[in-house]
Structure 1
Amino acid sequence: MRRDEIADLAAFVIVAEERSFTRAAARLGLAQSGLSQIVRRIEERLGVRLLSRTTRSVAPTEAGERLIATLGPMLHDLDGAIASLGDLRDRPAGTIRLTTVEHAAKTIVLPAMKRLLPEHPDITVEITIDYALTDVVADRFDAGVRLGGEIAKDMIAIRISPDVPMAIVGAPAYFKTRSAPTSPAGLVDHRAINLGMPGSRAPVAWRLMKGGREAKVRVEGPLVLTTIELVRDAALDGHGLAYLPADMVEGDLDSGRLIRVLAKFTPDLPGYHLYYPNRRHASAAFKLFVDTVRYRE
């Protein structure tokens, strides 16, 4: 294939991505009329129509979609390879914005930063604690951390932790007036301290085994809090049962400040994953960050 044909195909992909000749022309630094001629030339050469055009919109035809599916990843990989050469010249630097849940920040991200930041003083990591399923693109984050199974399928996801053991716990004072539940069905007679998600009226469900299958269970209670540290504090104060990462309450269980119940009905949660959109021009700083937090068994 000649170089000019490759350039034409690259221009077509950009028109399809932008769904606009005007935006694509601005992105490529070409005249809109010239770009339209390029697409028409490709269509004439291939003998199929690649784009449907109206006065208001541009959209790929079925043939166009098939061509994009093949060409798009190849061209993006080429962009990434060229960008990576520039990274060899540059000292890793810049700001990485991360959205993560509290437990992952404390147990995974911050320990990893002890290894990354002292060796790379020009990198800054901004960490925002958020339990909502944040859209990292819309909210301008570089990446997010959430449990496996909660991440949109169009994101790149990299495991950064083993599975997370969970525990249902209550204080001895709480159990003075209530018997410990022996099955998930018994939770209807108990009060829960729930973790709330911003923007949602329903608190985070507890994942329990019921009838040999995992199910999401909601338990009513007097408190809904937005951090797991506060949930633990409320459990220690005897307000009810709490559903928390087991490593967070290990010391409390050993000392007797908390009592664990329903252990055999509480499965581990899928491990934490770092998720982010396909990055055609990932910086050296971001690549280092990903490599630092990546889970290695």
Structure 2
Amino acid sequence: MKLTQLDGLVAFITVAQRRSFTEAAAALEVTPPAVSQAVRQLETRLGVRLLNRTTRSVSLTEAGERYLGRVGPAVGELLSATDDLDAWRGGPSGRVRVNAPHIVYETLLRPATASFLQAHPGARVEMRIEDGFSDIVEQGGDLGVRLGESVQRDMVAVALTPKERTCMVASPAYAARHGLPATLDDLRHHDCIRYRFPSSGAIYRWEVRRNGRLAEVEVDGPLTLSDSLNMARAALDGLGIAYTFERQVAGDLAAGRLLPVLPSAWHTMPGFHFYYPSRRQMPPTVRAFMDHCIAFNAAASTVNRRTATGGSRGRSAPRP
């Protein structure tokens, strides 16, 4: 083996994961021509084309697929070994790349990330915020966050929160104008704030409890959003009934800014989970970030429960 045989491997793997020289260059913090040259020199040394390039796309050749399958895990182990040394020298350092929905970042990760970076100034967090389910392996990410029921079976899932309950809420102003539904069937006569999946374009059918069983309800209304974070905000604006996570609106319910709608139909589901590839050894900084977020939110949840218990006596707000 010669020293030059290792040149270009990281560039090739990053391009292969992201299917883009531009995105790979941004991830590696170099210029696109530098990445292109490194990959071209690797192909020359190997005597085989690894990537098909067009003006619009990048794809792996058959040889590239086989080569990536062999060298990808090995290079990952080398980079992990470097991370281990960094952690041994002075605590967590290096980059953590996370993919999460808007509502998760705002309610769970944003405050925890601030706390983590203050505690570990050598660490860097890159947050990709999007509601559609994403392949973190293809994107070159370290961690993803989704509901437990959405995590693919070939991923390792670690609970970030306990079970989550979804709820339906409306503002007092909306209730004064239109009243509130008495049954699930009454929802068809109300303005409901709908959610459209960014990836598939499908409209989400609300998951509710009907006669003790899980059911789906198709709703209609004047406003459709593709950002889950703003569903409750639209309800606060009096635009209709929103379907969201109780966690997000607990404060508004307790303060009376929002009213519970059909609480007997609210649905409990598996909580949010971190997930990562089962075949990948987790770098110490990634592990530190995940553990910090879990501990931070567990502590915050305990404080919130105590506050809600002490401040909701005599109120009819629904219990978490």
Normalised TM-score (structure 2) = 0.62
Question: Is it true that 1:215 corresponds to 2:219 in the alignment?
Answer: no
Does residue 1:142 correspond to 2:150, yes or no? no
Q: Structure 2 matches for 1:151-162, cutoff 5 A? A: 151-162=151-162
Measure, in 1, the Cα distance between the counterparts of 2:101 and 2:204: 13
Range 277-286 or range 137-146, more displaced = 277-286
Which position in structure 2 is the counterpart of 1:128?
128
Report the CA distance between 1:129 and its aligned residue.
Answer: 1.9
Q: Aligned partners of 1:137, 1:154: CA distance in 2, in Å?
A: 11
Q: How many residues were matched structurally?
A: 237
CA distance in 1, matches of 2:156, 2:100: 16
Counterpart of 1:259 in structure 2 is 259
User: Helix, strand or coil: the match of 2:126?
Assistant: strand
| CA deviation after TM superposition for structure 1 residue 177, in Å | 4.4
* Distance in structure 2 (CA, Å) of the matches to 1:102 and 1:218: 23
Matched-pair contact (CA < 8 Å) for 1:192–1:219 = yes
Measure how far apart 1:203 and its partner are.
2.8
More helix by share: 2
2:239 maps to 239
Q: Is the 8 A contact 2:84 2:284 kept in 1?
A: no
CA distance in 1 between partners of 2:281 and 2:259 (Å):
50
Deviations 1:232-258 (A, max 9, x none): 232122221101222322333334332
Q: Partners of 1:254 and 1:284 in 2: how far apart?
A: 40
Q: Where does 1:32-43 land on structure 2 (aligned, <5 Å)?
A: none
Identity %: 33
Distance in 1 separating the partners of 2:114 and 2:87: 24
Q: Which secondary structure state, in structure 2, belongs to the residue aligned with residue 149 of structure 1? A: helix
SS at 1:141's partner residue? coil
Relative to structure 1, is the Cα distance of residues 230 and 104 closer, same or farther in structure 2, using a 3 angstrom cutoff?
closer
The yes-or-no answer on 1:169 pairing with 2:169 is yes
Q: 2:284 corresponds to which residue?
A: 284
SS at match of 1:294: helix
Which structure 1 residue ranges, 5 or more long, are not aligned? 1-25, 31-55, 58-74
Alignment map for 1:1-297 (pairs within 5 Å): 83=81, 86=85, 89-91=88-90, 92-278=92-278, 280-294=280-294
Deviation, structure 1 residue 85: 5.9
2: distance between equivalents of 1:88 and 1:242?
45
**For residues 85 and 113 of structure 1, do their structure 2 counterparts lie closer, same or farther at Cα, with a shift above 3 Å needed?**
closer
Shift of 1:175: 2.6
Q: Which amino acid aligns with 1:166?
A: T
8 Å contact from structure 2 (residues 86, 93) kept in 1? no
The alignment partner of 1:249 has SS state of helix
The CA RMSD over aligned residues, in Å, is: 3.7
- Bigger radius of gyration: 1
Normalization by structure 1: what TM-score?
0.67
Distance, in Å, in 1 between the alignment partners of 2:213 and 2:180 is 22
Distance in 2 between residues matched to 1:111 and 1:279, nearest whole Å:
30
Change (3 A) 1:218 1:158: same
Q: Report the alpha carbon displacement of residue 279 of structure 1 after superposing the two structures with TM.
A: 5.3
- Worse overlay, 269-278 or 110-119: 110-119
